[in-house]
Structure 1
Amino acid sequence: MTSQPKATLAPTSMQFNILTLAAAITAAIAATTAASVGWPVWAMFMGWVAFFTRGHSAKEALFSYLCLAIGVAFGMGAALAVGQLVPLIGPFAFGLVVFVVAIIVVSLRAVPHLNNVPSYFLGLITFFAAHLEPGVLAFSELAAVSGLGSFAAWLAHSWQTKIMRR
């Protein structure tokens, strides 16, 4: 006889609604905070998504965020490299730069704690979607707003975990 997987406890209707409210309230506060300081709200949600690419402890959340922030830096480096190479090799610059960045990012899967490939790609996407000029200001803004999102997701998850224990 094969063993059945353990069933997870489904939240009651009240718990389900409270868990949903916890996430919605946290997301609304984070979105309002981002918008209030002029940060792109969508970039806050990139940090939120990065949180869910790995374990949900504060330590794992920090590592996921660091991978995203490093991905933003890689995106800036890639944009600068493409800018330098396009005059020399035209559209082949994109292929060459993407190849090099992909080799680096995918190789980082071997680095303990910083092996979150999806978060690196979220960082790359964040930089390119923002359409900002590479530089300290762009990095600071994108790192801060995605950090807000990662923190908000961790906070919502922690809040939900406490609710479920009741």
Structure 2
Amino acid sequence: MSPPQASHRVFFLTTLIAAAVASVAAALSLLIGLPVWAMFVGWIAFYTRGLSTRSTFENLGCVGLGLAIGLLASLAVPRVAAMTGPAIALPLVVFVVAFQVVSLRGLPAMNNLLAYFLGLVTWFAAHLEPTIASFGHLFAATAIGSAAGWIAHRLPALTAQTAKPA
């Protein structure tokens, strides 16, 4: 009986699996031309709330909506600037977006405020043209990261179950 050694083994195995999954997710992102940093945003979103399959999809959905809101905001700024001037446009659009996003926390599902902001930050950090293709590009990267987070979380538990003697 050696619980400390067993827990060290589980710790090492979990770490090894997470590193391997991160490596594969990064390689896949590079292979298909997606930003690796955006893949890690999806990974972070996975760990923001709940570690179930359902929460994986909800968190990713919130990131995706955050990306979409960012895209719409980036389209709105120049239009609002034409009406109000550039000094007022950005703060006004940010106010509307922040009000909208913070209000979403009251939904019964899809209420992960942090994931919405991760989507917004991803959109604006990418500095891409506001197009559906740009949205798809970033969403695909975050989806790979979210899936990788789910795999890195689930695989050690599955490995431990199969390693137990019958």
Please indicate, yes or no, whether the TM-score normalized by the shorter chain is above 0.5. Answer: yes
Residue 160 of structure 1: CA displacement? 2.2
1:161 and 2:129 correspond: no
Q: How does 1:74-93 map to 2 (within 5 A)?
A: 74-88=69-83, 89-93=85-89
Q: Which runs of 4+ in 1 moved over 3 A?
A: 163-166
2:68 and 2:5 mapped to 1: Cα distance? Answer: 41
Structure 1 residue matching 2:111: 3-state secondary structure:
coil
Aligned identity (percent) is 44
The residue that corresponds to 1:97 in the other structure is 93
Unaligned runs of 5+ in 2: none
Unpaired segments ≥5 residues, structure 1: 1-8
Relative distance call for 1:10 and 1:144 in structure 2 (3 A) is farther
**SS of the residue 1:126 aligns to:** helix
- In structure 2, the residue matched to 1:58 is 53
Displacement of 1:137: 0.3
The alignment of Structure 1 onto Structure 2 pairs a total of residues equal to: 158
Q: Which has the higher helix share?
A: 2
Distance 1:84 1:11 in 2: 61
| Pairing 1:39–2:34 present | yes
How well do the aligned residues superpose, as a CA RMSD in angstroms? Answer: 1.6
**TM-score (ref. length: structure 1):** 0.90
Q: Which residue identity is paired with 1:157?
A: H
Under a length normalisation based on structure 2, what TM-score does the superposition of the two structures give? 0.90
Secondary structure class of the residue paired with 1:91: helix
| Residues 30 and 96 of structure 1: CA distance in aligned 2, closer, same or farther (over 3 Å) | same
SS of match in other structure, 2:56: helix
